[in-house]
A = this chain, B = another copy of it.
């Protein structure tokens, strides 16, 4: 495999780790939260805001399924890859499309070869396989690509979970093979424009070690809520060999305690010197609990989706801005939050915007929520590095009004 990322744990406190993830687009401190940019945009927020000191998102997600259907991979390729197409210069990770197709439910049909489904845009019959997902992800050219997997429902029986896990393993092998073909094609053709850009930067910087080149590929661990399956999935995925490992198939309908049990069992068994990514999870408190169990990377639609739906995350828990109690409430969403929304706007105004169906309502709540998630992770990293994570975790939990 090409050494496409570098990962180093710098501090530990219990299972919690603070580290550095290096991609060809620079160094990312972990644990990290990745805002979700499904269709090439983190919904409702400008890239300038994501890059600002206030949010400072170092890596965002793109989605293979959505971008493949629209604008289509030819468009992205003509425009020089996903970064150039959307105008984002920092790191990206692309999901494989497996989960999104899974979430289509009745619209899909899974076979050994791949997944047949109907487009959510126009109902057209489409087919995605490990090979196609890798082709699409090579064209999108994010720093981290994900293996094509199949997710079992949260309450899957052991038999269902094993079937999904075995299929995911076979697909993981095919994903890796296809991925490596695309990577060596690229190396052979010398078409890695960013590697070239990277070397120039490194030359200028003198003694700085060269950044990695190319894309990394992460494998995904499945197995539902069955710990023995999870362990087997982990071992056999490691045997295939990836640049990092993700825990998939959580937060899909199972109890929260079940999710935490799986993370607690699996995360500490994952390779210590490689990044551990918990997919699609969760609230700020979920993130803290998963960090305590050894996870390094997260993505979740909660700050953006819930923001658009009028829900704010605060240090004291969730706040539904549509509630009548906020009609003349001149306080900010969160009195301890340092974000530009809390600095300027009252709950009363945000409620007015939301009730009036004004775009700015979603824009401002999204901004606050992302600021809150990203700031929480910044505080998590500082806490681990200063050996105060256990205190931080206790205090954070205590001030939550559930």
Instruction: Give the interface of A toward B (CB within 8 A).
Output: 39-41, 43-48, 70-71, 75, 78-80, 85-87, 308, 327-328, 330, 340, 344-346, 348-349, 351-353, 355-356, 358-360, 362-364
The reply to whether A360 and B75 form a contact with Cβ atoms under 8 Å apart is no
**Cross-chain contact of A79 among B70, B348, B356 (Cβ < 8 A):** B348
A39 contacts B359, CB within 8 Å?
A: no
Q: How far is the CA of A190 from the CA of B206 in the complex (A)?
A: 67
CA distance A109 to B268 in the complex (A): 73
B358 touches A75 (CB 8 A): no
Instruction: Check if A40 sits within 8 Å of B86, measured CB to CB.
Output: no
Distance A78 CA – B327 CA, assembled complex (angstroms): 10
Bound CA–CA A79/B331 (angstroms):
10
CB distance from A371 to the nearest CB of B (A): 13
Distance, CA A207 to CA B327, complexed state (A): 42
- In the complex, the count of this chain's copies comes to 2
- Whole-angstrom distance between the alpha carbons of A71 and B79 in the complex? 45
For the complex of A and B, the 10 pairs showing the least CB-CB separation, nearest first, are A87-B344, A41-B360, A71-B352, A44-B359, A78-B328, A39-B356, A87-B345, A41-B358, A79-B348, A86-B349
Q: Is the CB of B352 within 8 A of A75?
A: yes
Is B78 touching A360 in the complex (CB atoms < 8 A)?
no
Q: Are A43 and B359 in contact (CB under 8 A)?
A: yes
Give Cα A355–Cα B39 distance, bound, in whole angstroms. 11
A355 proximity list for chain B (CB < 8 A): 70-71
Taking A40-B352, A44-B360, A359-B44 as contacts, is the C-beta distance between A346 and B70 under 8 angstroms?
no
| Contact A349–B70 (Cβ < 8 Å) | no
Name the one of B70, B79, B349, B362 contacting A359, with C-beta atoms under 8 angstroms: B362
Q: Cβ of A353: which chain B residues have Cβ within 8 Å of it?
A: 39-41
Would A349 and B85 count as touching, CB distance under 8 A? Answer: yes
Residue of B nearest to A327 (CB): B75
Q: Complex Cα distance A48/B346, Å?
A: 15
Interface centre among A71, A80, A327, A364 (most CB of B within 10 A): A71
Asked whether A358 and B85 contact (CB < 8 A) given A79-B348, A328-B78, the answer is no
The smallest C-beta distance from A76 to any residue of chain B, in angstroms, reads: 9
A321 to chain B, nearest CB (A): 13
Q: Is B87 a contact of A43 with CB atoms below 8 Å?
A: no
Q: Which residues of B contact A75 (CB under 8 A)?
A: 327-328, 348, 352
In the complex, which of the residues B39, B308, B349, B358 contacts A87, with contact meaning CB atoms closer than 8 Å? B349
Q: Which residues of B contact A351 (CB under 8 A)?
A: 71
Q: Point out the residues of chain B lying under 8 angstroms from A352, CB to CB.
A: 39-40, 70-71, 75, 85
